[in-house]
Chain A
Amino acid sequence: MNTSSSFKALASPPLISTSRPTTKSFPNPRFTSRFSPKPITCMRDSLNLGSNPKAPSPFSLATVSVDAPLGTKTSDKLRILVSEFRSLTEPIDRVKRLLNYAATLAPLDESARISENRVTGCTTQVWLEIKMDEFGRMRFKADSDSEISKGFCSCLIWILDGAKPEEVMGVRSEDLSEMNVGVHGKEQSRVNTWHNVLMSMQKRTMTLVATDVAHQRGQRPPHQHDLLFKYVNGSYMESSKVHDYSISLLPLYYDFII
């Protein structure tokens, strides 16, 4: 199992580039001759994302110079990532960018590849490990048997790792669809990894929050099926069958049962 220290390593705030990157030519002649790719730049290239430094990448990498301040908001990260992907006009370039991010995804321990961590609904296998650190921030790790799904996970983790629970709950899957990468269309689909992984992150975040609150109150942690959230007065409130876990402050955007 991963220890909390391994999650702390991921907690290092990323250094977010907002400068115009420069590019190098793609090093693989086979790739270059076949695909003649457009120069691909990557705003996250210099970021400490808990990446695997040994992971090779077929893409040209950018140099970046401007770092985002520590504690950059989740919404800002999302905006940066959306902007980055939207700047790539060719669909295949967006997929290649995703693959680039897949290579930066920190490995997941084999012990975390368990059914409890499986994200259901994907055509690929995705495992998601979630913890809450001592500061009440959410920590995510993920892996997949698909490189493209790993790319999705890498982006989501970059956005949400270290975020407060309410920030995790505040991301909407339609925000991610603005990146326009992978599956065509913006609506929910059985193959929409963005949606499925985000939903899993949010459901399990809610469970951890509820469990944490129950623990602080000396109450029995709720069974996840006992948590029901409903839309009340402009925000989503938890109408638990067992306890009030004060989760109603979390701005959810859809009904769900954990």
Chain B
Amino acid sequence: AAAASSATISTDSESVSLGHRVRKDFRILHQEVNGSKLVYLDSAATSQKPAAVLDALQNYYEFYNSNVHRGIHYLSAKATDEFELARKKVARFINASDSREIVFTRNATEAINLVAYSWGLSNLKPGDEVILTVAEHHSCIVPWQIVSQKTGAVLKFVTLNEDEVPDINKLRELISPKTKLVAVHHVSNVLASSLPIEEIVVWAHDVGAKVLVDACQSVPHMVVDVQKLNADFLVASSHKMCGPTGIGFLYGKSDLLHSMPPFLGGGEMISDVFLDHSTYAEPPSRFEAGTPAIGEAIALGAAVDYLSGIGMPKIHEYEVEIGKYLYEKLSSLPDVRIYGPRPSESVHRGALCSFNVEGLHPTDLATFLDQQHGVAIRSGHHCAQPLHRYLGVNASARASLYFYNTKDDVDAFIVALADTVSFFNSFK
């Protein structure tokens, strides 16, 4: 167990990092872009997919493509089995007590909208309060704005503290009997900070409020145990955790899901349909109207298998190490401002750094890094405009790592960034 938890694993006579060991599984990483070796540092936007996931998708379409839940023939039964097995895999991955607590959605955004439109519209009243932070992704702000406009509920936003993380003390102060929901991220896609979800859940439940966790940046990178967190809702996206696009999931506690009305109407989600009314299926089918993304769900199951095969504790420990390395290297460059908390013994950042270089636009940096050096980073507001506004900037650059990245990637990025800054400064 000790060896398995080490960020550097031993294979026979040589010591190989996790990143180096798994790179062979990601064919996409072994290519040149614009004449340079690709350095992919945009996994917070979307992750790359290992061969096992691609094979699962291919196998589905090649050998048992069929619709689920409604056919009695062999292919349909096989597809249904694999589809529901994927649901069980996801449930086990986040330690849900029952696979029926997993609702497949198109992505995390749709999962949040599902909760907003279903639970939100039927539970929020004028004067009720929903607590968010200024660091939320737009997908965890806009649905609540829409719902608050429809219901008269009030949105309350927690700002950052001096360490540039959402102020947990202010959050606790904001929670009151008026609070009906706390909807927050687990790990910030910009600040790389994490919130103490277990504590927040206790505070919220004390006043009868529910908690929704946007776990898009945590589920792919660390052990997430929904029973331990005790959150009421949790959402994540497949494509950020080595799975395909077009599939994500909502975890919801059984009693809550049972109490919620449908979000979308159509096939799959009904019990009986009459001309003047319908009765609805039990969760999760109630929330999965229409033919789902079958192959994608099955391939998500393969991604879960792949991640579990490596071990989430090992992935997390490795990412803490290379994330710290990235932070240290990046912060050593002049005129670089990294957003979010400084890493320390007690503060573990996610393996990403959002940053700006004084006097240079992040999009210019990202363009030059791509076209001159083959380094893929993100620039813009990362779907977090309120946060950027709070930080006093319009945009930032973001380098984000996953377990298939190595310190070599970080080194190549740092050299390329220094070169890029030098280039732009050369004609100022």
**Which residues of the other chain, A, contact B261 by a CB distance below 8 angstroms?**
none
- Docked-complex contact B426 and A124, CB < 8 angstroms: no
Identify which of A92, A124, A146, A182 contacts B34 (C-beta below 8 A).
A92
For A143-179 the 0/1 string (1 means CB < 8 A from B) is 0111111000000000000000000000000000000
A69–B67 CA distance with the chains assembled, in angstroms: 65
Residue in A103, A124, A182 with the greatest tally of chain B CB atoms within 10 Å:
A124
- Docked-complex contact B371 and A123, CB < 8 angstroms: no
**Which residues of the other chain, A, contact B364 by a CB distance below 8 angstroms?**
146-148
Chain A: interface residue total (CB-CB under 8 A): 27
For B365-390 the 0/1 string (1 means CB < 8 A from A) is 00110011000000111000000000
- Docked-complex contact B372 and A35, CB < 8 angstroms: yes
Identify which of A30, A91, A94, A146 contacts B363 (C-beta below 8 A).
A146
* A124-B371 in contact given A30-B426, A92-B34 (Cβ < 8 Å): no
B349 to chain A, nearest CB (A): 24
- Docked-complex contact A31 and B423, CB < 8 angstroms: yes
Closest to A125 in B: B394
A125–B381 CA distance with the chains assembled, in angstroms: 12
- Docked-complex contact B34 and A91, CB < 8 angstroms: yes
**Which residues of the other chain, A, contact B361 by a CB distance below 8 angstroms?**
124, 144-149
- Docked-complex contact B368 and A35, CB < 8 angstroms: no
**Which residues of the other chain, A, contact B34 by a CB distance below 8 angstroms?**
91-92
B66 to chain A, nearest CB (A): 32
For A56-67 the 0/1 string (1 means CB < 8 A from B) is 111000000000
**Which residues of the other chain, A, contact B294 by a CB distance below 8 angstroms?**
none
* A123-B380 in contact given A34-B422, A147-B424 (Cβ < 8 Å): yes
For A116-146 the 0/1 string (1 means CB < 8 A from B) is 0000000111000000000000000000111
* A95-B367 in contact given A34-B419, A35-B372, A191-B380 (Cβ < 8 Å): yes
**Which residues of the other chain, B, contact A72 by a CB distance below 8 angstroms?**
none
- Docked-complex contact A103 and B427, CB < 8 angstroms: yes
A111 to chain B, nearest CB (A): 19
**Which residues of the other chain, B, contact A226 by a CB distance below 8 angstroms?**
none
- Docked-complex contact A58 and B427, CB < 8 angstroms: yes
A145–B363 CA distance with the chains assembled, in angstroms: 10
- Docked-complex contact A91 and B394, CB < 8 angstroms: no
Question: B395 in the interface, Cβ–Cβ < 8 Å?
Answer: yes
- Docked-complex contact A123 and B363, CB < 8 angstroms: yes
- Docked-complex contact B395 and A28, CB < 8 angstroms: no
Question: B35 in the interface, Cβ–Cβ < 8 Å?
Answer: yes
A35–B372 CA distance with the chains assembled, in angstroms: 9
A124–B381 CA distance with the chains assembled, in angstroms: 10
Question: A76 in the interface, Cβ–Cβ < 8 Å?
Answer: no
A122 to chain B, nearest CB (A): 8
Closest to A145 in B: B361
Question: A90 in the interface, Cβ–Cβ < 8 Å?
Answer: yes
- Docked-complex contact A123 and B379, CB < 8 angstroms: yes
For B349-365 the 0/1 string (1 means CB < 8 A from A) is 00000000000010110
**Which residues of the other chain, B, contact A28 by a CB distance below 8 angstroms?**
426-427
**Which residues of the other chain, A, contact B419 by a CB distance below 8 angstroms?**
34
- Docked-complex contact A95 and B368, CB < 8 angstroms: yes
- Docked-complex contact A58 and B363, CB < 8 angstroms: no
A103–B419 CA distance with the chains assembled, in angstroms: 20
Closest to B380 in A: A123
A6–B132 CA distance with the chains assembled, in angstroms: 48
A214–B407 CA distance with the chains assembled, in angstroms: 64
**Which residues of the other chain, A, contact B423 by a CB distance below 8 angstroms?**
31, 34-35, 58
A91–B373 CA distance with the chains assembled, in angstroms: 11
B342 to chain A, nearest CB (A): 27
- Docked-complex contact B427 and A145, CB < 8 angstroms: no
Which residues in window 58-89 of A have CB below 8 A to B?
58
**Which residues of the other chain, B, contact A56 by a CB distance below 8 angstroms?**
427
A146–B395 CA distance with the chains assembled, in angstroms: 11
A39 to chain B, nearest CB (A): 17
* A149-B422 in contact given A91-B34, A123-B380, A191-B380 (Cβ < 8 Å): no
- Docked-complex contact A148 and B427, CB < 8 angstroms: no
A181–B132 CA distance with the chains assembled, in angstroms: 40
**Which residues of the other chain, B, contact A144 by a CB distance below 8 angstroms?**
361
Closest to B368 in A: A95
**Which residues of the other chain, B, contact A124 by a CB distance below 8 angstroms?**
361, 363, 394-395
A28–B427 CA distance with the chains assembled, in angstroms: 9
Residue in B35, B381, B395 with the greatest tally of chain A CB atoms within 10 Å:
B395
**Which residues of the other chain, B, contact A34 by a CB distance below 8 angstroms?**
419, 422-423
* A95-B426 in contact given A124-B361, A148-B364 (Cβ < 8 Å): no
**Which residues of the other chain, A, contact B368 by a CB distance below 8 angstroms?**
92, 95
Closest to B35 in A: A90
Which residues in window 413-428 of B have CB below 8 A to A?
419, 422-424, 426-427
A250–B422 CA distance with the chains assembled, in angstroms: 46
**Which residues of the other chain, B, contact A147 by a CB distance below 8 angstroms?**
361, 364, 424
A254–B427 CA distance with the chains assembled, in angstroms: 39
B259 to chain A, nearest CB (A): 38
A90–B394 CA distance with the chains assembled, in angstroms: 30
A9–B394 CA distance with the chains assembled, in angstroms: 32
- Further contacts, 4 of them, CB under 8 A, given A56-B427, A124-B363: A124-B361, A145-B361, A146-B363, A191-B380
- Please list the residues of chain B having a beta carbon within 8 angstroms of any beta carbon in chain A: 34-35, 361, 363-364, 367-368, 371-372, 379-381, 394-395, 419, 422-424, 426-427
Complex A-B, nearest 3 residue pairs according to Cβ-Cβ distance, in ascending order: A146-B361, A58-B427, A123-B380
User: 5 pairs across A/B with beta carbons < 8 Å?
Assistant: A57-B427, A124-B395, A145-B394, A146-B363, A148-B361
